[in-house]
């Protein structure tokens, strides 16, 4: 049991990566659309590239969205309006009219005229309530069909123009009085009916909507059917019109049948295989070409998290409305990876992510082509991300590439610009603007995952920072030495294509441990008194080597990134404090070399190897007397060759060719520093 636990502990990093791999795979598969994929690719207006296609099963030809929308519009325009009728209103109005008629008729009017007036009033009421009087004004067309309901029972039908609006009552009165030749009594009748007339119709909005919904529900979404083994399209035939609709119908039917209950597990298994294979390629790439990243679980988690996050966001957008897919700033992914790692890893991860997203988006070929091209442009154009102008220029170039590529696709598909969707260009511009969010995103990631980008390195390189100010005050000689080493290391890194900004920052902080005992280091001894004279060789060596441990403690206390602390740990490797070692050998016969050696580890990257060379060269160059170009060349060769012989660069991925290039840079720089001047007369 103990051996098993020890084995688990030794392999805990691989176990974690395995669990991360499995969980990410299932998460991405869960986000995928729940449907199969049609095995043929076709585009409207383009020839059919595959062999003759026969119907694999019976299926219905679905109507286009335009056809269904048109049918819905026709039903909506021809829909019937339903009004509830109140029969008691007409009876009530007639009763009140009979009672109040005598009040408006003068006694001086003859009996004959009075009878005519009474009949005219009855005619007005009959006309008003033939269909009914509306209580509100409705904005319906006059030729809109209507149905009057008396307790949900159809009583009358007609058109909306038959109904009397409130403002049309006076017109009905005028017409009736004219017909009877009694227009002179208009004022009396208008005032009478103004008080008498009440609306007896109310628009039943809910019932009307319900009936319309039932009618829309009866719309057939298919027009005709295709029998099994029927030829759908021949090879080379242009896919358009009815053929295109048949293919779209087959695709839809195929995907719905594939994702049936019986095949659910198999389709899910196939998706899982593809996603797992893609993520496995990423892990193999990291293990073969970026071993330092692969061995860091935080960095692997960071990479998988970003891929999953981008797929999740794209899924949300597609589910909401697929026309907005180009608003998602996919190019943020390679930008982020380039900021924390390098361009090669960023592009590789970007391509794999786009391939996975291809399962989600419509027109996947067009989408993947655009995004891969944009990702390549991102890697080629974005340099020195910490410079704001570079980011704005690169985002503009990326947006332009999107627009040009989309324009080309439209012309290829449609053959003209008439059907181009200009709003897509707005989505591209919005995507470009969203890409600018990469700067604050990098800052957030630095805090969440403890990573360091070039932006942070630029801030750390400021010599006015608190820690470097403290170094210059406590150990001015060490600070000056660090500045010289930083200049040499930066030039060397630029020569061989290493991270110049990282190695410069590492050089500035590599000796901060000397602040604890500054006077024990010769560059800080200004009084001529050497405190080592009072110590044994072993004690002196311990103080010298301890500046590495002290430096790591100070760095962690000041929250310096691990990438910078690596330079403090490795800048002496496992080399020996040679002066005190030889002094001890002269004093004693038996001396343990480990007591006079730095704790290490040895440099394990190009940048840390460069710092070791430059640190040794700069420190030792102070002992050069009457330097000449020949002396400088021999001096550089001797020191670096000794480091090679001691195996200090065995763990660093640096080549002999690169070391020779660094030697040339250092020789040139030292020659410039120690160049001879003519002696000016006093």
Q: DSSP secondary structure string, 551-611?
A: HHHHHHHTT--HHHHHHHHHTTTT-B-HHHHHHHHHH-S---GGGGB-------SHHHHHH
Residue 7 token pair: 């084995």
pLDDT grade for 570, boundaries at 50, 70 and 90:
very high
| Tens-place pLDDT, residues 123-169 | 877 888 888 888 788 888 888 888 888 876 777 778 888 888 877 77
Residue 247 lies in a domain: no
- Report the chain's mean pLDDT, rounded to a whole number: 83
Residues 476 and 599 in one domain: yes
pLDDT at 567: 95
178 shares a domain with 203: yes
Q: Are both 664 and 562 inside the same structural domain? A: yes
| Strand locations in 466-521 (E) | none
**Both ends of the chain: CA-CA distance in Å?**
85
Which of 310, 255, 281 has the alpha carbon at shortest distance from 27? 310
Residue 148 φ/ψ, nearest 5 degrees = -95, 130
Q: What is the pLDDT of residue 679?
A: 45
Q: Would residue 135 count as lying in a domain?
A: yes
Report how far apart, in Å, the C-alpha atoms of 237 and of each of 47, 240, 243 are.
Answer: 5, 9, 9
- Highest-pLDDT range among 128-132, 210-214, 232-236, 319-323: 210-214
- Report residue 70's pLDDT band, with 50, 70 and 90 as the boundaries: confident
For residues 352-365, average pLDDT: 87
| 291 and 386 inside one domain | yes
In a domain, 271, yes or no: yes
The least confident of 109-113, 415-419, 501-505 is 415-419
Task: Give the integer Cα–Cα distance in Å for 242 and 250.
Answer: 12
Would you say residue 68 lies in a domain? no
Place of tokens 């604050």: 440
- Examine the domain organization and report whether 373 and 324 are in the same domain: yes
CA distance 220 to 58: 17
* Domain membership flag for residue 202: yes
Q: Indicate whether 500 and 529 sit together in one domain.
A: yes
Last-in-domain residue among 396, 420, 445: 445
Residue that finishes a domain, picked among 423, 445, 467:
445
pLDDT tops 70 at residue 2: no
Which segment of 8-22, 222-236, 250-264, 397-411 scores lowest on mean pLDDT? 250-264
Sign of the CA dihedral 286, 290, 294, 297?
negative
Question: pTM score, two decimals?
Answer: 0.62
428 and 520 share a domain? no
Q: What are the tokens at 440?
A: 């604050």
Q: What is the structure's pLDDT at 678? A: 45
Angle between helices 656-673 and 606-620 (to 10 degrees): 30
Q: Which residues pair with 341 in a beta bridge?
A: none
Residue 79 lies in a domain: yes
- Segment among 256-260, 488-492, 546-550 with least mean pLDDT: 256-260
Whole-number Å distance between alpha carbons of 44 and 655: 55
- pLDDT, one tens digit per residue, over 372-395 is 988 888 888 766 665 666 777 778
Q: Which domain holds residue 336?
A: 2-31+264-445
Q: Which residues contact 258 (CB under 8 A, 6 or more apart)?
A: 35, 36, 267
Q: How many helices (H) and strands (E) does the chain have?
A: 28, 8
Helix (H) or strand (E) holding 148: strand 145-149
What is the tens place of the pLDDT at every residue in 528-548? Answer: 777 887 888 888 889 999 999
Domain identity same for 557 and 428: no
- Both 434 and 338 in a single domain? yes
Spell out the residues 6+ positions from residue 259 whose beta carbon is closer than 8 angstroms to its own: 34, 35, 36, 267
State yes or no: pLDDT of 354 exceeds 70: yes
Task: Please tell me whether residues 315 and 463 are part of one structural domain.
Answer: no
User: β-pairing, 145-149 with 81-85?
Assistant: parallel
- Which residue carries 């790591």 as its tokens? 552
Residue with tokens 């805090």: 447
- Residues forming a β-bridge with 597: 576
Are residue 117 and residue 161 in the same domain, yes or no? yes
Q: Residue 468, CB half-sphere, CA atoms under 13 Å: how many? A: 20
Q: Is the pLDDT of residue 603 over 90?
A: yes
pLDDT confidence band for 40 (50 / 70 / 90): low
Q: Are residue 590 and residue 632 in the same domain, yes or no?
A: yes
Q: Which residues of 62-93 are buried (b: 16+ CB within 10 A; e: fewer)?
A: bbeeeeeeeeeeeeeeebebbbbbeeebbeeb
DSSP letters, 335-368, are: HHHHHHS-HHHHHHHHHHHHHHHTTTSSSHHHHH
Domain end point (choices 396, 428, 445): 445
Q: How many CB atoms lie within 10 A of CB 47?
A: 13
CA–CA gap between residue 344 and residue 23 (Å, rounded): 25
Residue 347: exposed, middle, or buried by beta-carbon count in 10 A (0-12, 13-18, 19+)?
A: buried
Residue-level pLDDT at 35? 57
In a domain, 492, yes or no: yes
Tell me: the pLDDT tens digits for 305-342? Answer: 999 999 999 999 888 887 788 888 888 898 889 888 88
Residue 219 φ/ψ, nearest 5 degrees: -65, 135
Both tokens of 416, joined, read 């003209």
Q: Is residue 9 part of a domain?
A: yes
Rounded-to-integer distance, Cα 432 and Cα 442, Å: 17
The number of domains in the chain is: 3
SS3 of 58-84: CEEEECCHHHHHHHHHHHHHCCCEEEE
């Amino acid at each position: 049991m103990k051996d098993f636990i020890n084995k688990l502990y030794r392999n805990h990093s691989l176990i974690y990566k395995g669990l991360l791999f499995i969980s990410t795979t299932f998460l991405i598969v869960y986000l995928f659309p729940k449907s199969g994929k049609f095995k043929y690719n076709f585009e409207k207006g383009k020839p059919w590239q595959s062999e003759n296609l026969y119907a694999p099963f019976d299926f219905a030809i679905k109507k286009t969205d335009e056809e269904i929308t048109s049918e819905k519009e026709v039903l909506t325009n021809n829909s019937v309006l339903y009004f509830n009728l109140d029969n008691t209103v007409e009876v009530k109005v007639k009763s009140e009219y009979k009672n109040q008629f005598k009040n408006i008729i003068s006694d001086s009017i003859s009996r004959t005229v009075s009878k005519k007036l009474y009949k005219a009033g009855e005619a007005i009421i009959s006309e008003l309530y033939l269909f009914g009087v509306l209580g509100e004004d409705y904005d319906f067309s006059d030729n809109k069909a209507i149905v009057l309901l008396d307790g949900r029972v159809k009583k009358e039908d007609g058109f909306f123009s038959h109904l009397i609006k409130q403002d049309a009552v006076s017109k009905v009165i005028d017409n009736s009085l004219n017909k009877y030749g009694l227009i002179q009594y208009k004022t009396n009748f208008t005032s009478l009916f103004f008080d008498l007339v009440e609306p007896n119709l109310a628009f039943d909005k809910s019932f009307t909507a319900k009936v319309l919904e039932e009618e829309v529900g009866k719309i057939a979404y298919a027009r005709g059917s295709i029998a099994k083994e029927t030829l759908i399209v021949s090879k080379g035939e242009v896919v358009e019109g009815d053929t295109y609709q048949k293919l779209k119908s087959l695709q839809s039917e195929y995907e719905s049948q594939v994702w049936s209950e019986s095949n659910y597990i198999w389709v899910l298994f196939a998706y899982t295989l593809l996603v797992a294979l893609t993520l496995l390629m990423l892990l193999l790439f990291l293990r073969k070409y970026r071993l330092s990243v692969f061995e860091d679980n935080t960095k692997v988690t960071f990479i998988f998290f970003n891929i999953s996050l981008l797929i999740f966001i794209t899924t949300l957008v597609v589910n909401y409305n697929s026309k907005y897919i180009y608003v998602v700033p996919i190019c943020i992914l390679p930008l982020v990876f380039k900021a924390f790692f390098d361009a090669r890893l960023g592009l590789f991860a970007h391509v794999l992510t786009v391939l996975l997203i291809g399962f989600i988006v419509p027109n996947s070929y067009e989408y993947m082509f655009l995004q891969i091209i944009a990702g390549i442009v991102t890697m080629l154009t974005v340099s020195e991300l910490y410079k704001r102008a570079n980011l704005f220029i690169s985002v503009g170039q990326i947006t332009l590439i999107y627009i040009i590529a989309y324009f080309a696709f439209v012309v290829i598909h449609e053959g003209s610009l008439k059907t181009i969707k200009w709003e897509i260009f707005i989505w591209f511009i919005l995507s470009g603007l969203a890409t600018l969010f990469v700067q604050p995103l990098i800052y957030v990631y630095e805090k969440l995952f403890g990573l360091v980008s070039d932006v942070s390195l630029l801030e750390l390189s400021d010599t006015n920072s608190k820690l470097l100010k403290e170094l210059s005050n406590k150990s001015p000689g060490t600070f000056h030495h660090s500045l010289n080493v930083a200049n040499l290391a930066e030039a060397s890194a630029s020569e061989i294509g290493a991270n110049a900004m990282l190695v410069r920052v590492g050089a500035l902080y590599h000796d901060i441990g000397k602040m604890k005992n500054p006077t024990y280091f010769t560059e800080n001894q200004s009084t001529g008194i050497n405190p080592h004279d009072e110590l044994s060789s072993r004690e002196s060596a311990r103080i010298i080597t301890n500046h590495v441990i002290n430096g790591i403690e100070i760095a962690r206390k000041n929250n310096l990134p691990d990438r910078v602390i690596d330079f403090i740990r490795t800048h002496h490797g496992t080399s020996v404090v040679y002066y005190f070692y030889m002094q001890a050998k002269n004093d004693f016969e038996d001396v343990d070399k480990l007591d006079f050696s730095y704790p290490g580890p040895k440099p394990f990257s190009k940048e840390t190897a460069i710092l070791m060379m430059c640190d040794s060269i700069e420190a030792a160059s102070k002992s050069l007397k009457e330097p000449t170009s020949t002396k400088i060349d021999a001096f550089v060769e001797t020191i670096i060759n000794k480091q090679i012989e001691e195996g200090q660069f065995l763990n660093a991925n640096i080549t002999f060719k690169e070391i020779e290039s660094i030697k040339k840079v250092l020789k040139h720089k030292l020659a410039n520093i120690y160049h001879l001047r003519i002696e000016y007369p006093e």
